[in-house]
Structure formats: structure tokens, C-alpha cells
A and B are shown apart, each in its own frame.
Chain A
Amino acid sequence: MLLEVKNLKTEFFTDNGVITAVNDIDFSIEKGQTICIVGESGSGKSMTSLSIMGLIEEPGRVTQGEILFEGTDLLKYSQNQMRNIRGKDIAMIFQEPMSSLNPSYTVGYQIDEVLKLHQKELNKEQRRKRVVELFDEVGIPFPEDKYNEYPFKLSGGQRQRVMIAMAMACQPKLLIADEPTTALDVTIQAQVLDLMNDLKKKNGTSILFITHDLGVVAQMADIVVVMYKGCVVESASAKELFDDPRHPYTKALLNSIPVPGKVKRKSRLQTVDENVNYHDFPKEIR
């Protein structure tokens, strides 16, 4: 087991009271597995990933639970110890490739920085070679020339590839992808997803994939975790979940996907009924 999240609870202590962003969730990831966390906006998907990275900022705090990474609890680590884990063992990709690269530096330099932090044994030339290798691996054309390009000169898809290259720079054991394809158009999205699957097979990296796009889930996931208002309402293998959803919220979510050809003209699209209290159902159906 690579990562085990047990009874994790993240709360925000605001002036207007305590807000529970992540409420007592459990899930685990095995080596080489892809887990997708799905849920609507505000369901606590991103907060879960930030909790794992130890990046919850004031006034938020992880108040309960364990995050076992290869058997050791990340929550007990100091900031310094966490810094050594971040980028090296656990890497992360973000939603907005436009803003997640530093506009002041060339893309090559930015990946070089990550290598400098975590792979101190490499010298300057070896690092440069490695960066070009990485660019090539993630399918950036003319990797040698792209080394000296500033982020604003690259397209959205290429930037996301750079982000993936940066995340894979130290061959992390776990890659957290927080809606990495939401900002990309559909063809680029498919290419990026393929790329992530390839890299996963090649390096044996586990992926924690956060998305609200069930189409992406179908393409990526081994296991799907459905979150609703901070809780895990259902977790199952992707096949099971799509064929036989157990929890009413999951059913509602799946029903809300419009199927081309089946939606009648002028009829209303299916929505998730907010009047049902989904928490009343037995917690977690597996």
C-alpha cells in the first residue's frame, strides 16, 4: 500500500464558525494504481489533496486522522521533512497550466530548479540533459529549443506537458493531479490523459486524479471515490461504479450526464436533486 488515508478530517476555523471541508474520509492507493476522486465543486476534492501535501493554510487545519505514506504518517512530519517529500516522492499538477508556471523564468530553468532541490548528485550538464529528456518524454516537440522558452510562448497543452515533466522530474511515487485537463480543450485533454497513462505504466507511479468529469474518470480510473460535501459517499472499482452505482448520489451524478441522441429536444436535463439529504444514507457503500 503506497498511501492510506484514514479518518481524515480538515476543518477551517473562520470567524463565522467551523467549516468542515473534509469530513472523516478513508481511501487508499496501491502502487501503480490510479484513483479518481470525483464530486461537485466544493465537495472537498482539492482540500483532500492539499491535506495530503500538508499545504492547508490558516485558518484551516487537519484535525483528525492519519495519512500513511509507505507506512509513515505524513501529518507527524515537520515542515522541513515535508519539503523533502514534496516534489520528490509526491508531486502535483494543477488545473491552470497558464498560471502554474513562473512567468519570469524559462521552462527549462524551472524544471532544473526542481532537480537542483532534490537530486543534488547531478551536475549542471547532467541536469540539462535530464530536462531535455523529460521534455522529449512528455512529447514536447524540439525539446532542445524549448528549454529556453518562457511559459507565455507555449500553448496551454504544451504548458501542461511542461507541468507534467516537472512533476515527473524526480520520478515521484505518487502524482496528485488536481483537475489537470479542465482548462484544456478535448483533443488536448485526450493527449494529456494518454501521456499520464503512459508515464504511469513506464515509471510505476500511482496517480491520485481529481476531477468532476466522469468521462475522464472512465478513461483513467482503477478505483473511483465519490465525494459529496466533504464525505466519501461511495468508493468502488471504475467498472462497478459505472455499471452498478449503489449510492443514490452516485446514481444522480451518473444520470446527470447528458447522452447525445437520448436527450429529447426542449426537455430538461437531469440534475442532481439537492433536496435529498444524501448523508442520511448509510455512510460509504462499498
Chain B
Amino acid sequence: MKEENKILEFYKQFKKNKSALIGLYIVIVLIICALFAPFLAPADPLIQDLEQRLIPPMWAEGGSFAHILGTDDFGRDMLSRIIYGARISLMIGVISVSISLIIGTIMGASAGYYGGKVDLIVMRVVDIMLSIPAILLAIVIVSILGPDLFNAMIAIGIVGIPTFARIVRGSVLAEKEKEYVIASRVNGSSNFRLINKVILPNCATPIIVQATMGFASAVLEAAGLSFLGLGAQPPTPEWGAMLADSLQFITTASWMIVFPGIAIFLTVMGFNLVGDGLMDVLDPKMKDR
């Protein structure tokens, strides 16, 4: 089967689930925004123009076509900042999910496969991490590393590790008892090969789904950290930071708080819907239906 056919088939399956499709469109729009931000954004997100400050969106009284979603307290174009914000949010998602995915999978797979002492030690570490509220743990890590967007990504990545470790361990435990694993061992596979090539591909579905959902929570947590001033620093157009900036204008310039909020909401919802849809589509047994 050719690669293109696979993608087409995948899309066909996906189309059957309406909400997942909406999620997929949201995600695609986000990715386009992130990739082509300089072409899509009407203005530079960092250029301040104090004469143009606090202009409402174009449909409100006093709004103009020059600033479709209005401007903030420094006269920066809101639409441009939100489009550039997609870039940052996706970067946060990719980097922090990669961190938790890689470390969590290694931890979970070795715990599940080797069992015994390895399992005991790894899972206790995971339990300890899970016993601390995620956002609190992230705050602690960021305050140790110093407030900065990249450190926030690391912190969110670390916070995500235990969920991955648990999911991977669970599926590895279920898979490793299956006969095809013994069959592969009988054919001369080494432990490393068994974990990587035999067991893990069969655990891919929950891992991919968790990665998608984790993406959403990473975006949300990053926004939270930035809101608290521990993530992206001004003037970076990060959605959470934009929310924080707009707090004092909540009664006078509500658009400043509404649009970044909507952006965060749509992103999180989009990734969660896609995650739900993936869960249905990725089951190999569903391929022919």
C-alpha cells in the first residue's frame, strides 16, 4: 500500500466522526497559522503604536478594518498577536509532549516489561509525581529553573511524564503476556527488540491518543504558567501572557481578554476532539469497516 493511500484511508475513517473532523479542522487551521504567521498576520505583533492603543474590534463602535480584532494597551494588533501566538502554543505542545512522551515511554516500558524491582522503583517515582498537583509541580520546576518560556516547556514536559509512564506500563503489561511476544522470543528476538519492535507498536494507540490529549493540556498549562508570569515573558505574544496583560482592562477593553481566551479554548478543544477521534480510527481491527 502506498503512503498516500494510507493517509486518504485514514481521512475517510476520520470523516465518519463529525466532532473529530471539527477538531481536525481546528488543528489544521492552527498549524497553518503557526507555519505561515508572517504572511497571515496583518501587522508585526511586537510593534507598538501608542496612538492606536485600545481600539475595539472592527464590528464594535470605533473599530476599524485596519485592526480586525482591535489593539491592546500598547497599540499592538490583536489578530497578529493571536496568529503568532499559535506558533508559540504549538511549539510548547510539541516540545513538552515530546519530553513527556520519550521519558514516559522509556520509564513505562521498562517498568512493564522487566517488572519486579524496576517496576517498583519507577512506579513509586511516578506515584510521587502524581501526588503533587500538576500546575503546582510545574510552578516549582519553573521557579527552580527560572521563569522563561523554554523552562516552562521543560516543566510541563516533566509534569506529563507520569501519565505516559502509567499508560505505557499498562499496555506493555497487557501485551507482553500475549503469545506473539513469546513466539517472537522463540524466533530469537532480544529483550530490546521485543520491547521496541514487538510490544510497543501494539501499544501505539493509547500512546498516540494520550499525546494528542497531552498536547491540549500542555497548551493549557503553558497558558497558565504564562498567566502567572512564569512562562512567556512580555512582549512575547503568548496567549496566557496576553490574558495576564489584559486583566486590568477587563471592564474597559473586554476584547483583549476574550480573543486570547477563545484561542486557548479552541486549541484545547480541537486537540481533545482529535484525540477522541484517533482512539476510534487507530484500532487496526477497524480498518476495513
- The answer to whether A and B assemble together is yes
For window 180-217 of chain B, which residues contact chain A by CB distance below 8 Å? 180, 182-190, 197-198, 201-202, 204
Stretch at the interface among A80-88, A122-130, A245-253: A80-88
Q: Which residues of A contact B189 (CB under 8 A)?
A: 83, 117
Residue B179, interface by CB 8 Å: yes
Q: A99-B180, A104-B284, A150-B284 are in contact. Are A87 and B187 (CB under 8 A)?
A: yes
Residues of B within 8 A of A94 (CB): 179, 182-183
Choice from B183, B190, B285 contacting A83 with Cβ under 8 Å: B190
Which of B180, B182, B189 has the most CB atoms of chain A within a 10 A radius of its CB? B180
CB contacts under 8 Å to A, within B257-289, are: 284-285, 287-288
Chain B residues with CB below 8 A from A96, complex form = 179
Q: Does A62 contact B (CB under 8 A)?
A: no
State A126–B285 Cα separation when bound (angstroms). 31
Nearest neighbor of A86 in chain B, beta-carbon distance: B188
Partner of A103, one of B184, B186, B284: B284
How many A residues face the partner with a CB closer than 8 A?
A: 31
Q: Which residues of B contact A85 (CB under 8 A)?
A: 188
Give a binary string over A90-129; 1 marks a CB under 8 Å from any B CB, 0 the rest.
Answer: 0110111001111111000000011001100000000000
| CB atoms of B179 and A117 under 8 A apart | no
From the candidates A87, A102, A105, name the one contacting B188 in the complex (CB within 8 A).
Answer: A87
User: Considering only CB atoms, which chain B residue lies closest to A118 in the complex?
Assistant: B188
Does any Cβ of B come within 8 Å of A232's Cβ?
A: no
Q: Scan residues 126-156 of chain A and give those whose CB is less than 8 A from a CB of chain B.
A: 148, 150, 152-153
Distance of A57 from chain B, by nearest CB (Å) = 10
Q: Is A166 an interface residue (CB 8 A)?
A: yes
Judge whether A91 and B187 touch: CB under 8 Å: yes
Determine if A55 and B186 form an interchain contact, defined as CB atoms under 8 angstroms apart. Answer: yes
The answer to whether A117 and B188 touch across the interface, beta carbons within 8 angstroms, is yes
- List A contacts of B185 (CB < 8 A): 55, 86
1/0 per position for B68-103, CB-CB distance to A under 8 A?
000000000000000000000000000000000000
B198 and chain A: residue at smallest CB distance: A102
Given known pairs A100-B179, A103-B202, A150-B284, the reply for A83 and B184 (CB within 8 Å) is no
Q: Hey, what's the 0/1 contact readout for B151-191 against A, CB within 8 Å counting as 1?
A: 00000000000000000000000000011101111111110
CB distance from B284 to the nearest CB of A (A): 6
The reply to whether A55 and B187 form a contact with Cβ atoms under 8 Å apart is: no
Give B115's nearest chain A residue, CB to CB: A58
Interface: B144 (CB within 8 A) = no
Chain A: minimal CB distance from B191 (Å):
9
B284 in contact with A152 (CB, 8 Å)? yes
Chain A, residue nearest B285 (CB): A152
B112 CB, nearest partner CB in chain A, Å: 15
B182 touches A166 (CB 8 A): no
B88 to chain A, nearest CB (A): 35
Tell me whether A101 and B186 are in contact (CB under 8 A). Answer: no
CB distance from B209 to the nearest CB of A (A): 16
Interface pair A104/B202, CB less than 8 Å apart = yes
Taking a contact as CB atoms under 8 Å apart, the answer to whether A99 and B202 are in contact is no
Q: Which of B1, B186, B190, B198 contacts A53 (CB 8 A)?
A: B186
Among residues of B, the one whose C-beta sits closest to the C-beta of A153 is: B288
CA distance A221 to B197 in the complex (A): 37
Q: Is A163 an interface residue (CB 8 A)?
A: yes
Tell me the minimal C-beta distance from B22 to chain A in angstroms: 29
List the B side residues contacting A102 at CB < 8 Å.
180, 184, 198, 201-202
Residues of B contacting A152 in the complex (Cβ-Cβ under 8 angstroms): 284-285
A113 to chain B: which residues have CB within 8 Å? 184, 187, 197
Q: Which residues of B contact A (CB under 8 A)?
A: 1, 116, 178-180, 182-190, 197-198, 201-202, 204, 284-285, 287-288
Can you name 17 A-B pairs with beta carbons within 8 Å?
A55-B185, A55-B186, A83-B189, A86-B187, A87-B188, A88-B188, A91-B187, A92-B186, A94-B179, A99-B178, A100-B179, A101-B180, A102-B180, A113-B187, A114-B188, A117-B189, A153-B288
User: 4 closest A-B pairs (Cβ-Cβ)?
Assistant: A87-B187, A87-B188, A100-B179, A104-B201
